[in-house]
């Protein structure tokens, strides 16, 4: 009996079972968070299907209460004008966890192959309903309809329904609709905030949102300029560990080790390849699959300690750019001052990354006791776990009084990191880890925009002071002119007034007063 009670039972979990049990890892922890997370995953997939492909996104999000009796069941529908999904891929893209087109080295919002499926899984769990997908690729002649569920035990899609319709217009894109239990009241502000921040970082997108209360919000497209599309890259040798090296050696078509290093990696030319091979005590014409585990270990160690390998190139990265960031901040926040900076590419652990910072100040922004921080990674707004994010740490470390800001102040800081590998703290993609190189770049970027704000504020202060001084004089011109004209014969009041204003204007640098009546309204 005793031995039976303590005997451990062993079995394997499929990914779907694992994430079914640990859904909070992917952000689906409670009805409020799940509703927000589902919107987010679907919108990000929609954006991934558009802007990297040069398509100006048009996205429609509809959130509805399914029935009047049960106010915690919602339907989410997200429609995009993207590249669509090849019909053969649809079932697995929505019905099999860890299935993705984004497992390549290319900067996209999605990266785990989980997002859509977690929403489907959560919906299935809480409402028993499956997902409906309508999609057509650009070249497809048909529009495809699917109704899919996930077989949690086996992590395979179950196709409930499939339809094919002839396409008689040029439509392409995807509509995804699913049902889930949610808490609108408690997720409302987060969902709005998410869409607003998305509109800021992607002002070239047009987003319509209809919420469960029937309110329709339209974020209009405020520029046609789009970021450069991301491109797939070969890995940089410094970002590759022993395991990955083994996999690459196994998969390569190269005939020799020398050819393998030159062909499969970026930043390695023949000279570098020969040096690495020699330093690792290997031979250039070894066959890739002949390397022993020790050989691989040595090769990776030599690569890690080599100081001459060129840093990873960053021209595959899709940064947003100063202009678009400014347009986005301006359009949504309506600030009085806006600026942005895109830093030069930098590298951590063999991964190239670019940090961008934007700053918006004044105007319609409400003053707060500290800078409001808008964090983004690969153009995704990060809303949760702000306190754990390295960007918050950097912003809080800065002495803003040094830049002429005293709180409460209407100050918004935008920080964007883009990389083929963003160092997230978890699969929920909510905060960026304290990587020293990233932290350093963020600090430089934020300080740069802060310096520009300081210049702006001190210029504005100078101008304000000048305007005050000018008014302090101009308001007395009529009295002086009239007084003098009364005392002195044969001079016209208007003449004196004109001359005084002329002299005053000559002293003014930042503006001119056209007429005394711009200042003096009446004398009574």
Ligand X SMILES: Nc1ncnc2c1ncn2[C@@H]1O[C@H](COP(=O)(O)OP(=O)(O)OP(=O)(O)O)[C@@H](O)[C@H]1O
Residue (187 or 378) nearer to ligand X, CB:
378
Residue (119 or 357) nearer to Mg ion, CB:
119
Residue (100 or 342) nearer to Mg ion, CB:
100
Indicate the SS3 state at residue 455. helix
Range 480-499, binding other proteins (CB under 8 A): 480, 482-484, 486-489, 491, 495-496, 499
Element (H, E) at 52: none
Query: Closest separation between CB of residue 200 and Mg ion, Å?
Result: 20
Query: Closest separation between CB of residue 408 and Mg ion, Å?
Result: 38
Residues across the chain: 524
Please list, in sequence order, all residues whose beta carbon lies within 8 angstroms of the beta carbon of residue 51, skipping any fewer than 6 positions away: 57, 202, 204, 205, 226, 227, 229, 379
Residue 384 main-chain phi, psi, to 5 deg = -95, 165
Nearest to 125 by CA among 46, 34, 53: 34
Among 232, 479, 512, 514, binds other proteins (CB under 8 A): 479
Indicate the SS3 state at residue 414. strand
How far apart (Å, rounded) are the C-alpha atoms in residues 129 and 177? 10
Residue (304 or 498) nearer to other proteins, CB:
498
Contact status: 457 vs other proteins (CB under 8 A): no
- 494 is written with which tokens? 């208007």
How far is residue 56 from each of residues 10, 43, 51, 329, 465, measured CA to CA in Å? Answer: 51, 14, 6, 18, 45
How far is residue 30 from each of residues 25, 382, 448, measured CA to CA in Å? Answer: 12, 18, 40
Q: Select the binding partner of residue 351 from other proteins, ligand X, Mg ion, none (C-beta < 5 to 8 A, by kind).
A: none
Calculate helix-pair angle for 270-279, 257-264, nearest 10 degrees.
Answer: 130
Place of tokens 């993705």: 100
Contact status: 467 vs other proteins (CB under 8 A): yes
Residue (136 or 346) nearer to ligand X, CB:
136
Query: Closest separation between CB of residue 211 and ligand X, Å?
Result: 21
Query: Is the previous residue joined to 408 through a cis bond, with omega within 30 degrees of 0?
Result: yes
How far apart (Å, rounded) are the C-alpha atoms in residues 190 and 186? 8
Residue (309 or 477) nearer to other proteins, CB:
477
Query: Closest separation between CB of residue 75 and ligand X, Å?
Result: 17
Residue (298 or 482) nearer to other proteins, CB:
482
Query: Closest separation between CB of residue 330 and other proteins, Å?
Result: 22
Residue (52 or 110) nearer to Mg ion, CB:
110
Among 52, 84, 110, 173, binds Mg ion (CB under 5 A): 110
How far apart (Å, rounded) are the C-alpha atoms in residues 508 and 329? 32
How far apart (Å, rounded) are the C-alpha atoms in residues 40 and 48? 12
Contact status: 475 vs other proteins (CB under 8 A): yes
Range 29-68, binding Mg ion (CB under 5 A): 45
Binding piece for other proteins, criterion CB under 8 A, among 21-29, 37-45, 321-329, 501-509 = 501-509
b/e string for 70-97 if b means 16 or more Cβ within 10 A?
Answer: eebbbbbbbbbbbbbbebeebbbbbbbb
| Ranges of H-type helices in 149-267 | 184-201, 242-251, 257-264
Query: Closest separation between CB of residue 228 and other proteins, Å?
Result: 42
Label the pairing between strands 372-377 and 411-419.
parallel
Contact status: 455 vs other proteins (CB under 8 A): no
Residues of the shown chain interacting with ligand X in the complex, contacts defined by CB under 6 A: 41, 45-46, 49, 80, 82-83, 85, 93, 100-102, 110-117, 174
Q: Select the binding partner of residue 360 from other proteins, Mg ion, ligand X, none (C-beta < 5 to 8 A, by kind).
A: none
Among 171, 464, 494, 514, binds other proteins (CB under 8 A): 464
Query: Closest separation between CB of residue 369 and ligand X, Å?
Result: 34
When CB distances to ligand X are compared, the closest residue is: 110
Binding piece for Mg ion, criterion CB under 5 A, among 115-123, 172-180, 281-289, 295-303 = 115-123
Contact status: 212 vs Mg ion (CB under 5 A): no
How far apart (Å, rounded) are the C-alpha atoms in residues 192 and 73? 19
What distance, in Å, lies between the first and last C-alpha atoms of the chain?
A: 106
How far apart (Å, rounded) are the C-alpha atoms in residues 93 and 281? 44
Q: Select the binding partner of residue 114 from ligand X, Mg ion, other proteins, none (C-beta < 5 to 8 A, by kind).
A: ligand X
Phi-psi region of 334 (alpha: psi -120 to 50; beta: other; left: phi over 0): left
Query: Closest separation between CB of residue 89 and ligand X, Å?
Result: 7
Query: Closest separation between CB of residue 110 and Mg ion, Å?
Result: 3
What would the DSSP string read from start to end of 84-141? ---TTTHHHHHHSTT--S--SSS--S--SS-HHHHHHHHHHHHH---EEEEEE-SS-S
Q: Select the binding partner of residue 213 from ligand X, Mg ion, other proteins, none (C-beta < 5 to 8 A, by kind).
A: none
Q: Select the binding partner of residue 482 from Mg ion, ligand X, other proteins, none (C-beta < 5 to 8 A, by kind).
A: other proteins
Query: Closest separation between CB of residue 26 and ligand X, Å?
Result: 8
Q: Applying CB under 8 A, which residues contact other proteins? A: 464, 467-476, 478-480, 482-484, 486-489, 491, 495-496, 499-500, 502-504, 507, 511, 513, 518-524
Q: Applying CB under 5 A, which residues contact Mg ion? A: 45, 110, 115
């Amino acid at each position: 009996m005793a031995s039976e009670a303590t005997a451990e039972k062993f079995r394997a979990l499929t990914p779907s079972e694992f994430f079914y049990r640990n859904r909070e890892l992917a952000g689906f922890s409670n009805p409020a968070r799940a509703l927000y997370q589902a919107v987010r995953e679907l919108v990000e997939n929609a954006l991934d299907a558009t802007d990297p492909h040069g398509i100006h996104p048009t996205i429609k999000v509809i959130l509805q209460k399914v029935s009047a009796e049960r106010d915690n069941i919602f339907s989410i529908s997200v429609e995009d004008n993207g590249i669509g999904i090849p019909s053969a891929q649809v079932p697995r893209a929505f019905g099999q966890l860890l299935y993705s087109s984004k497992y390549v080295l290319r900067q996209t919002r999605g990266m785990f192959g989980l997002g859509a499926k977690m929403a489907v899984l959560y919906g299935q769990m809480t409402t028993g309903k499956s997902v409906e997908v309508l999609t057509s690729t650009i070249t497809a002649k048909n529009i495809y309809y699917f109704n899919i569920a996930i077989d949690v035990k086996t992590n395979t899609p179950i196709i409930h329904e499939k339809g094919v319709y002839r396409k008689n217009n040029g439509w392409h894109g995807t509509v995804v609709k699913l049902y889930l239990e949610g808490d609108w009241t408690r997720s409302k502000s987060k969902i709005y905030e998410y869409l607003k921040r998305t509109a800021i970082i992607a002002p070239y997108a047009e987003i319509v949102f209809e919420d469960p209360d029937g309110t329709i919000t339209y974020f209009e497209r405020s520029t046609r300029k789009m970021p450069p599309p991301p491109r797939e890259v070969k890995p940089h040798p410094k970002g590759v560990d022993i395991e990955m090296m083994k996999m690459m050696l196994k998969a390569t078509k190269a005939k020799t080790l020398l050819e393998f290093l030159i062909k499969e990696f970026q930043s390695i030319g023949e000279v570098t390849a020969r040096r690495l091979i020699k330093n690792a005590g290997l031979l250039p014409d070894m066959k890739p699959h002949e390397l022993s585990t020790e050989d691989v270990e040595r090769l990776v160690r030599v690569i890690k300690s080599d100081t001459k390998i060129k840093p990873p190139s960053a021209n595959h990265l899709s940064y947003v750019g100063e202009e678009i960031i400014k347009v986005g901040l301006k359009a949504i926040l309506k600030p009085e001052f806006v600026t942005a900076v895109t830093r030069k590419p930098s590298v951590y652990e063999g991964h190239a990354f670019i940090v961008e910072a934007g700053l918006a100040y004044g105007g319609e922004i409400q003053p707060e006791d500290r800078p409001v921080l808008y964090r983004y990674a690969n153009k995704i707004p990060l809303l949760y776990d702000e306190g754990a994010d390295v960007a918050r740490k950097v912003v809080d470390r800065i002495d803003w009084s040094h830049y002429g800001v005293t709180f409460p102040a209407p100050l918004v800081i935008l920080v964007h990191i883009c990389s083929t590998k963003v160092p997230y703290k978890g699969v929920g993609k909510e905060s960026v880890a304290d990587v020293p190189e990233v932290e350093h770049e963020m600090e430089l970027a934020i300080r740069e925009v802060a310096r520009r704000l300081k210049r702006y504020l001190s210029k504005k202060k100078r101008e304000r002071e000048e305007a005050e001084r000018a008014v302090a004089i101009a308001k007395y011109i009529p009295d002086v002119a009239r007084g003098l004209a009364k005392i002195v014969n044969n001079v016209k009041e208007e003449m004196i007034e004109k001359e005084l204003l002329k002299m005053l204007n000559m002293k003014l640098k930042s503006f001119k007063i056209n007429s005394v009546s711009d200042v003096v309204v009446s004398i009574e």
